[in-house]
Amino acid sequence: MSTHTDERPNARASEQRMGFVSRPRFEDYREKYATYFKLERRNGILQVLMHTQGGPVMYGLPIHNAWSQLWLDIGNDPDNEVLIFSGSGDKWIAGFDPQFASQPLHDMPADAFYDQIYSDATKLLEAFIFNIDIPTIACINGSGLHTEFALLCDITLCAEHAELFDPHFKFNLVPGDGQGLTFQELMGLKRAAYYLYTSDKITAQVAKEMGLVNEVLSLDRLLPRAWEIAEKIMQKPRAIRRMTSAVLRRQWKRRLVDDLGFHIAHELLGMHLTKASE
Protein backbone atom coordinates (compact mmCIF):
# COMPACT_ATOMS: atom_id res chain seq x y z
CA MET A 1 0.00 0.00 0.00
CA SER A 2 1.38 3.38 -0.97
CA THR A 3 2.32 5.63 1.93
CA HIS A 4 2.87 8.72 -0.21
CA THR A 5 0.14 10.97 -1.52
CA ASP A 6 0.93 13.11 -4.55
CA GLU A 7 0.34 16.76 -3.72
CA ARG A 8 -0.63 17.99 -7.17
CA PRO A 9 -3.79 19.29 -8.83
CA ASN A 10 -5.84 16.85 -10.84
CA ALA A 11 -4.32 16.86 -14.33
CA ARG A 12 -7.68 16.53 -16.05
CA ALA A 13 -9.14 19.46 -14.11
CA SER A 14 -6.10 21.57 -15.02
CA GLU A 15 -6.63 20.81 -18.71
CA GLN A 16 -10.14 22.19 -18.60
CA ARG A 17 -9.29 25.18 -16.41
CA MET A 18 -6.34 26.28 -18.53
CA GLY A 19 -7.94 25.51 -21.89
CA PHE A 20 -5.29 22.92 -22.74
CA VAL A 21 -5.74 20.30 -25.43
CA SER A 22 -6.96 17.16 -23.67
CA ARG A 23 -4.57 14.24 -23.22
CA PRO A 24 -5.38 10.63 -24.20
CA ARG A 25 -7.83 8.90 -21.87
CA PHE A 26 -7.24 5.35 -20.70
CA GLU A 27 -10.81 4.29 -21.48
CA ASP A 28 -10.34 5.37 -25.10
CA TYR A 29 -6.96 3.87 -25.92
CA ARG A 30 -7.68 0.68 -23.98
CA GLU A 31 -10.34 -0.02 -26.60
CA LYS A 32 -8.26 1.39 -29.47
CA TYR A 33 -5.51 -1.18 -28.92
CA ALA A 34 -7.64 -4.07 -27.61
CA THR A 35 -6.92 -6.24 -30.67
CA TYR A 36 -3.22 -6.37 -29.81
CA PHE A 37 -2.89 -5.42 -26.12
CA LYS A 38 -4.80 -6.08 -22.92
CA LEU A 39 -4.57 -2.97 -20.72
CA GLU A 40 -5.33 -2.78 -17.01
CA ARG A 41 -4.63 0.12 -14.64
CA ARG A 42 -4.85 0.32 -10.86
CA ASN A 43 -3.69 3.27 -8.77
CA GLY A 44 -1.55 4.65 -11.59
CA ILE A 45 0.14 1.33 -12.40
CA LEU A 46 -0.53 0.37 -16.01
CA GLN A 47 -0.18 -3.27 -17.05
CA VAL A 48 0.07 -3.99 -20.78
CA LEU A 49 -0.02 -7.57 -22.11
CA MET A 50 0.58 -8.32 -25.79
CA HIS A 51 -1.79 -10.92 -27.20
CA THR A 52 -3.34 -12.47 -30.29
CA GLN A 53 -6.92 -13.54 -29.70
CA GLY A 54 -6.19 -13.78 -26.00
CA GLY A 55 -3.12 -16.00 -26.32
CA PRO A 56 0.59 -15.50 -27.09
CA VAL A 57 1.09 -12.81 -29.69
CA MET A 58 1.82 -13.61 -33.32
CA TYR A 59 4.16 -11.08 -34.89
CA GLY A 60 3.15 -9.12 -37.99
CA LEU A 61 3.03 -5.63 -39.46
CA PRO A 62 -0.15 -4.58 -37.58
CA ILE A 63 1.41 -5.01 -34.13
CA HIS A 64 4.71 -3.65 -35.48
CA ASN A 65 2.78 -0.49 -36.32
CA ALA A 66 0.69 -0.45 -33.11
CA TRP A 67 3.67 -0.54 -30.73
CA SER A 68 4.89 3.00 -31.33
CA GLN A 69 1.39 4.46 -31.28
CA LEU A 70 0.66 2.75 -27.98
CA TRP A 71 3.87 4.13 -26.46
CA LEU A 72 2.86 7.65 -27.52
CA ASP A 73 -0.57 7.38 -25.92
CA ILE A 74 0.80 5.83 -22.72
CA GLY A 75 3.44 8.53 -22.42
CA ASN A 76 0.94 11.30 -23.08
CA ASP A 77 -1.52 10.16 -20.40
CA PRO A 78 -0.60 11.92 -17.11
CA ASP A 79 -2.52 9.33 -15.10
CA ASN A 80 0.05 6.63 -15.92
CA GLU A 81 2.73 6.41 -13.23
CA VAL A 82 4.45 3.01 -13.68
CA LEU A 83 4.36 0.69 -16.70
CA ILE A 84 4.40 -3.13 -16.52
CA PHE A 85 4.84 -4.74 -19.95
CA SER A 86 4.64 -8.43 -20.82
CA GLY A 87 3.31 -11.02 -23.23
CA SER A 88 0.42 -13.43 -22.76
CA GLY A 89 0.65 -17.10 -21.88
CA ASP A 90 4.05 -18.77 -21.72
CA LYS A 91 5.66 -17.13 -24.77
CA TRP A 92 6.87 -13.57 -25.33
CA ILE A 93 6.05 -13.80 -29.05
CA ALA A 94 4.86 -17.17 -30.38
CA GLY A 95 5.91 -16.72 -33.99
CA PHE A 96 4.94 -15.01 -37.24
CA ASP A 97 1.42 -14.26 -38.35
CA PRO A 98 0.93 -16.48 -41.45
CA GLN A 99 -0.30 -13.50 -43.47
CA PHE A 100 2.86 -11.53 -42.64
CA ALA A 101 5.11 -14.47 -43.49
CA SER A 102 3.48 -14.77 -46.92
CA GLN A 103 4.07 -11.12 -47.88
CA PRO A 104 7.47 -10.45 -49.55
CA LEU A 105 8.69 -7.16 -48.08
CA HIS A 106 10.79 -6.50 -51.18
CA ASP A 107 7.65 -6.23 -53.31
CA MET A 108 6.16 -3.38 -51.28
CA PRO A 109 5.96 0.05 -52.99
CA ALA A 110 8.71 2.43 -51.89
CA ASP A 111 6.47 4.72 -49.82
CA ALA A 112 4.76 1.79 -48.10
CA PHE A 113 8.14 0.21 -47.36
CA TYR A 114 9.34 3.46 -45.81
CA ASP A 115 6.21 3.96 -43.69
CA GLN A 116 5.55 0.37 -42.61
CA ILE A 117 9.09 -0.94 -42.29
CA TYR A 118 11.76 1.75 -41.87
CA SER A 119 9.68 4.40 -40.08
CA ASP A 120 7.81 1.98 -37.83
CA ALA A 121 10.99 0.10 -36.93
CA THR A 122 12.61 3.37 -35.88
CA LYS A 123 9.65 4.96 -34.13
CA LEU A 124 8.63 1.96 -32.07
CA LEU A 125 11.93 2.12 -30.16
CA GLU A 126 12.26 5.89 -30.14
CA ALA A 127 8.72 6.34 -28.84
CA PHE A 128 9.36 3.85 -26.04
CA ILE A 129 12.48 5.62 -24.82
CA PHE A 130 11.75 9.27 -25.62
CA ASN A 131 8.01 9.46 -24.91
CA ILE A 132 7.49 7.33 -21.80
CA ASP A 133 8.69 9.32 -18.79
CA ILE A 134 7.71 6.89 -16.04
CA PRO A 135 9.41 3.86 -14.47
CA THR A 136 9.09 0.74 -16.63
CA ILE A 137 9.11 -2.94 -15.65
CA ALA A 138 9.18 -5.79 -18.16
CA CYS A 139 8.18 -9.41 -17.62
CA ILE A 140 9.69 -11.73 -20.22
CA ASN A 141 7.12 -14.51 -19.95
CA GLY A 142 8.79 -16.86 -22.41
CA SER A 143 10.87 -17.11 -25.57
CA GLY A 144 10.23 -15.05 -28.67
CA LEU A 145 11.33 -12.29 -31.01
CA HIS A 146 11.70 -8.61 -30.15
CA THR A 147 12.67 -8.83 -26.50
CA GLU A 148 14.42 -5.48 -27.01
CA PHE A 149 11.40 -3.77 -25.43
CA ALA A 150 11.88 -5.83 -22.30
CA LEU A 151 15.61 -5.09 -22.22
CA LEU A 152 14.96 -1.36 -22.67
CA CYS A 153 12.80 -1.28 -19.54
CA ASP A 154 14.31 0.02 -16.29
CA ILE A 155 13.73 -3.34 -14.58
CA THR A 156 13.45 -6.67 -16.38
CA LEU A 157 12.05 -9.87 -14.85
CA CYS A 158 12.34 -13.15 -16.72
CA ALA A 159 10.50 -16.46 -16.57
CA GLU A 160 12.82 -19.36 -15.81
CA HIS A 161 11.90 -21.21 -19.04
CA ALA A 162 12.50 -18.20 -21.32
CA GLU A 163 15.37 -17.92 -23.78
CA LEU A 164 16.68 -14.77 -25.45
CA PHE A 165 18.08 -14.75 -28.98
CA ASP A 166 18.51 -12.73 -32.16
CA PRO A 167 17.90 -14.92 -35.24
CA HIS A 168 18.57 -12.30 -37.95
CA PHE A 169 22.01 -13.50 -39.12
CA LYS A 170 20.75 -17.09 -39.21
CA PHE A 171 18.21 -16.01 -41.84
CA ASN A 172 20.62 -13.88 -43.91
CA LEU A 173 19.58 -10.61 -42.29
CA VAL A 174 21.65 -7.91 -40.59
CA PRO A 175 20.71 -7.82 -36.86
CA GLY A 176 19.71 -4.16 -36.99
CA ASP A 177 16.17 -3.76 -35.67
CA GLY A 178 16.97 -3.14 -31.99
CA GLN A 179 17.59 -6.56 -30.49
CA GLY A 180 21.25 -6.50 -31.46
CA LEU A 181 21.58 -2.93 -30.21
CA THR A 182 20.28 -3.87 -26.75
CA PHE A 183 22.58 -6.91 -26.68
CA GLN A 184 25.59 -4.71 -27.46
CA GLU A 185 24.68 -2.17 -24.78
CA LEU A 186 23.95 -4.66 -21.99
CA MET A 187 26.31 -7.59 -22.53
CA GLY A 188 29.25 -5.82 -24.22
CA LEU A 189 30.59 -5.91 -27.76
CA LYS A 190 32.49 -9.20 -27.61
CA ARG A 191 29.69 -11.31 -26.18
CA ALA A 192 27.11 -9.56 -28.36
CA ALA A 193 29.13 -10.32 -31.49
CA TYR A 194 29.15 -14.02 -30.58
CA TYR A 195 25.39 -14.24 -30.06
CA LEU A 196 24.57 -12.13 -33.11
CA TYR A 197 26.73 -14.27 -35.41
CA THR A 198 25.67 -17.63 -33.95
CA SER A 199 22.01 -16.83 -33.12
CA ASP A 200 22.51 -19.08 -30.09
CA LYS A 201 19.88 -18.95 -27.37
CA ILE A 202 20.59 -17.44 -23.97
CA THR A 203 18.91 -19.13 -21.04
CA ALA A 204 17.19 -17.05 -18.39
CA GLN A 205 19.88 -17.78 -15.81
CA VAL A 206 22.72 -16.87 -18.17
CA ALA A 207 20.83 -13.71 -19.13
CA LYS A 208 20.76 -12.75 -15.46
CA GLU A 209 24.48 -13.47 -15.04
CA MET A 210 25.25 -11.24 -18.05
CA GLY A 211 23.13 -8.38 -16.76
CA LEU A 212 20.35 -8.61 -19.34
CA VAL A 213 17.65 -9.29 -16.74
CA ASN A 214 17.35 -8.60 -13.01
CA GLU A 215 15.41 -11.58 -11.64
CA VAL A 216 14.51 -15.08 -12.82
CA LEU A 217 11.18 -16.37 -11.56
CA SER A 218 8.59 -19.04 -12.22
CA LEU A 219 5.95 -17.94 -14.71
CA ASP A 220 3.24 -17.69 -12.08
CA ARG A 221 5.37 -15.34 -9.97
CA LEU A 222 6.33 -13.00 -12.79
CA LEU A 223 3.47 -10.47 -12.85
CA PRO A 224 2.84 -10.53 -9.07
CA ARG A 225 6.51 -9.68 -8.52
CA ALA A 226 6.28 -6.85 -11.07
CA TRP A 227 3.30 -5.42 -9.18
CA GLU A 228 5.20 -5.67 -5.89
CA ILE A 229 8.05 -3.62 -7.35
CA ALA A 230 5.66 -1.14 -8.99
CA GLU A 231 3.77 -0.58 -5.74
CA LYS A 232 7.05 0.02 -3.93
CA ILE A 233 8.05 2.58 -6.57
CA MET A 234 4.67 4.27 -6.16
CA GLN A 235 5.48 5.03 -2.51
CA LYS A 236 7.88 7.74 -3.66
CA PRO A 237 6.90 11.28 -4.73
CA ARG A 238 5.73 11.62 -8.31
CA ALA A 239 8.47 14.04 -9.35
CA ILE A 240 11.16 11.78 -7.87
CA ARG A 241 9.79 8.76 -9.72
CA ARG A 242 9.73 10.54 -13.05
CA MET A 243 13.10 12.26 -12.74
CA THR A 244 14.72 8.98 -11.67
CA SER A 245 13.34 7.34 -14.82
CA ALA A 246 14.85 10.21 -16.84
CA VAL A 247 18.28 9.58 -15.30
CA LEU A 248 18.07 5.85 -15.96
CA ARG A 249 16.93 6.32 -19.55
CA ARG A 250 19.59 8.84 -20.54
CA GLN A 251 22.12 6.27 -21.75
CA TRP A 252 19.48 4.58 -23.89
CA LYS A 253 18.62 7.93 -25.48
CA ARG A 254 22.27 8.42 -26.41
CA ARG A 255 22.49 4.91 -27.82
CA LEU A 256 19.40 5.29 -29.98
CA VAL A 257 20.50 8.67 -31.34
CA ASP A 258 23.97 7.35 -32.15
CA ASP A 259 23.16 3.91 -33.53
CA LEU A 260 19.51 3.03 -34.19
CA GLY A 261 19.14 4.62 -37.64
CA PHE A 262 22.48 3.16 -38.72
CA HIS A 263 21.48 -0.33 -37.58
CA ILE A 264 18.05 -0.28 -39.24
CA ALA A 265 19.38 1.20 -42.50
CA HIS A 266 21.98 -1.56 -42.74
CA GLU A 267 19.39 -4.26 -42.06
CA LEU A 268 17.15 -2.94 -44.84
CA LEU A 269 20.02 -2.35 -47.26
CA GLY A 270 21.15 -5.92 -46.65
CA MET A 271 17.64 -7.15 -47.51
CA HIS A 272 17.70 -5.17 -50.75
CA LEU A 273 21.17 -6.34 -51.79
CA THR A 274 20.35 -9.95 -51.04
CA LYS A 275 17.19 -9.72 -53.15
CA ALA A 276 19.09 -7.99 -55.97
CA SER A 277 21.70 -10.77 -56.11
CA GLU A 278 19.12 -13.57 -56.47
Are 210 and 178 in contact by the 8 Å Cβ rule? The answer is no
**How many other CB atoms are found less than 10 A from the CB of residue 82?**
25
Residue 203's beta-bridge partner residues? 163
160 is catalytic: no
Question: Which residues, including other chains, have CB under 8 Å from residue 138's CB and lie 6 or more apart?
Answer: 84, 85, 86, 149, 150, 151, 152, 153, 155, 156, 157
Active-site entry in 7, 15, 31, 148: 148
Alpha-carbon torsion 230, 38, 134, 183, what sign? positive
Are 156 and 69 in contact by the 8 Å Cβ rule? The answer is no
**How many other CB atoms are found less than 10 A from the CB of residue 112?**
12
Q: What are phi and psi of 52, to 5 degrees?
A: -130, 110
The β-bridge relationship of strands 155-159 and 136-140 is: parallel
Collapsed DSSP state (helix, strand, coil) of residue 266? helix
What percent of the residues of the chain are helix, what percent strand, and what percent coil, each to the nearest 5? 55, 15, 35
Amino acid code (one letter) for 231: E
d(CA 230, CA 260): 29
Q: Would you mind telling me the total number of residues written for the chain in this entry?
A: 278
What DSSP element (H or E) covers 189?
A: helix 189-198
> How many Cα neighbours within 13 Å face the side chain of 196?
22
Give the active site residues: 148
